[in-house]
């Protein structure tokens, strides 16, 4: 069912584009296409209802049952794309309001957008120029309107992508934890007890955003073609890729605009917690030996 959706939806969009452009599509083709779409929608509705009833029989509430049904019927990649777009749009509101996500009192917010800001604004400029050019060149009103909507949506998504990176910085928690992020696409929380060392290390790895050499190995979260901080962990930590896939890494390398400040704050917080075990929630022997952050 999910594979059929990936084929039918693009085909339906292509058919709509042909109709908008004035292409004479035979009536049997239109009827067959609409019949296929209607059949898939009915099948999806039946699947959702079946999973919803099964969840309700297990005692789940209406909202939880609906969430389970949608999760079972909608492809994980499609759900992830929708979530990423929703987070990006909410980041625009935070950007305008000058508010940051997930930064509490006592935490250190570490920006990482420096190397990519110029590229983002350049991409935004190109998108605006394309929107204006197509508005002047396309003579057909309906096609003009379709492309205008798509171009404006593209401009909005570029702004949302940059806004999500600005409003979702890396975070060094007051409890010595670390949260490594890239906008709404990547979020990797690391507990304080898992960090064995952290240091400034500038590298220029190959790759566009995420690069991992092997499962449980080294993860590179690349910004502007570089990483500036290296964090080593006591054991592999699970992370979620932008499209929902999962991976693990024991070494995490990422970029921060001020890597020295991030490493210094992480070292300071963890050292203070190690020297004051009572303030950290008990005797040091209850949580295992304190690990040094170099």
| Per-residue pLDDT reduced to its tens digit, 184-193 | 999 999 998 8
Tell me what the mean pLDDT of segment 66-95 comes to: 81
Give ∠ CA 103-107-112 in degrees, rounded to 5: 70
Compute the CA torsion angle 164, 165, 168, 170 (nearest 10 deg).
170
Reported as a single tens digit per residue, the pLDDT across 223-241 is 988 999 999 999 999 998 8
pTM for the predicted model, two decimal places: 0.73
**According to the model, what pLDDT value does residue 293 have?**
43
Count other C-beta atoms under 10 Å from residue 227's C-beta: 25
pLDDT tier for residue 146 given thresholds of 50, 70 and 90: confident
Least confident of 42-56, 112-126, 176-190: 42-56
Stretch (H or E) spanning 108: strand 108-110
Beta-carbon contacts of 234 under 8 Å, excluding residues fewer than 6 positions away, are 193, 194, 195, 196, 291
Cα end-to-end distance, the chain, whole Å: 52
**According to the model, what pLDDT value does residue 132 have?**
85
Q: Select the more confidently predicted residue: 129 or 283.
A: 129
**According to the model, what pLDDT value does residue 266 have?**
93
* Burial of 67 per CB tally in 10 Å (0-12, 13-18, 19+): middle
Q: Select the more confidently predicted residue: 206 or 181.
A: 181
- DSSP helix/strand/coil, 170: strand
Reported as a single tens digit per residue, the pLDDT across 269-287 is 988 888 876 544 444 444 4
**According to the model, what pLDDT value does residue 194 have?**
93
* Burial of 22 per CB tally in 10 Å (0-12, 13-18, 19+): exposed
Beta-carbon contacts of 274 under 8 Å, excluding residues fewer than 6 positions away, are 280, 284, 290
**According to the model, what pLDDT value does residue 214 have?**
65
**According to the model, what pLDDT value does residue 277 have?**
61
Tell me what the mean pLDDT of segment 75-80 comes to: 74
**According to the model, what pLDDT value does residue 80 have?**
79
Q: Select the more confidently predicted residue: 4 or 136.
A: 136
**According to the model, what pLDDT value does residue 9 have?**
60
**According to the model, what pLDDT value does residue 43 have?**
76
Least confident of 19-33, 61-75, 213-227: 19-33
**According to the model, what pLDDT value does residue 67 have?**
78
Tell me what the mean pLDDT of segment 169-178 comes to: 94
Average pLDDT of the chain, as a whole number: 82
**Start-end of H helices in the chain:** 2-20, 27-57, 62-73, 76-97, 114-137, 141-167, 259-275, 284-287
**According to the model, what pLDDT value does residue 287 have?**
44
Widest CA span in the chain: 78
Question: Which sign, positive or negative, has the C-alpha torsion 148, 150, 155, 160?
Answer: positive
CA distance 99 to 119: 23
């Amino acid at each position: 069912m999910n594979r059929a959706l990936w084929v039918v939806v693009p085909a339906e969009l292509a058919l709509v584009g042909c109709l908008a452009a004035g292409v004479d599509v035979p009536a049997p083709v239109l009827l067959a296409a609409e019949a296929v779409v209607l059949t898939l929608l009915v099948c999806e509705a039946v699947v959702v209802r079946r999973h919803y009833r099964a969840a309700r029989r297990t005692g789940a509430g209406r909202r939880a049952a609906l969430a389970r049904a949608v999760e079972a019927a909608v492809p994980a990649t499609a759900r992830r794309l929708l979530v990423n777009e929703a987070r990006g749009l909410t980041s625009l509101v935070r950007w305008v309001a000058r508010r940051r996500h997930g930064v509490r009192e006592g935490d250190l917010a570490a920006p990482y957008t420096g190397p990519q800001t110029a590229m983002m604004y350049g991409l935004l400029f190109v998108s605006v120029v394309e929107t204006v050019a197509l508005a002047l060149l396309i003579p057909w009103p309906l096609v003009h309107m379709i492309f205008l909507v798509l171009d404006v949506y593209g401009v909005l998504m570029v702004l949302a992508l940059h806004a999500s990176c600005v409003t979702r910085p890396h975070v060094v928690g007051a409890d010595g934890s670390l949260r490594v992020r890239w906008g709404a696409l990547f979020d990797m929380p690391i507990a304080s007890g898992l960090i064995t060392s952290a240091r400034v290390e500038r590298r220029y790895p190959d790759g566009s955003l995420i690069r991992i050499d092997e499962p449980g190995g080294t993860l590179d979260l690349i910004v502007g073609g570089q990483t500036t901080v290296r964090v080593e962990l006591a054991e592999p930590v699970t992370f979620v890729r932008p499209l929902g896939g999962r991976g693990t890494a024991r070494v995490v390398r990422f970029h921060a605009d001020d890597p020295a400040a991030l490493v210094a704050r992480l070292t300071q917080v963890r050292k203070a917690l190690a020297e004051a075990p009572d303030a950290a929630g008990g005797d040091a022997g209850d949580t295992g030996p304190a690990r040094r952050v170099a």
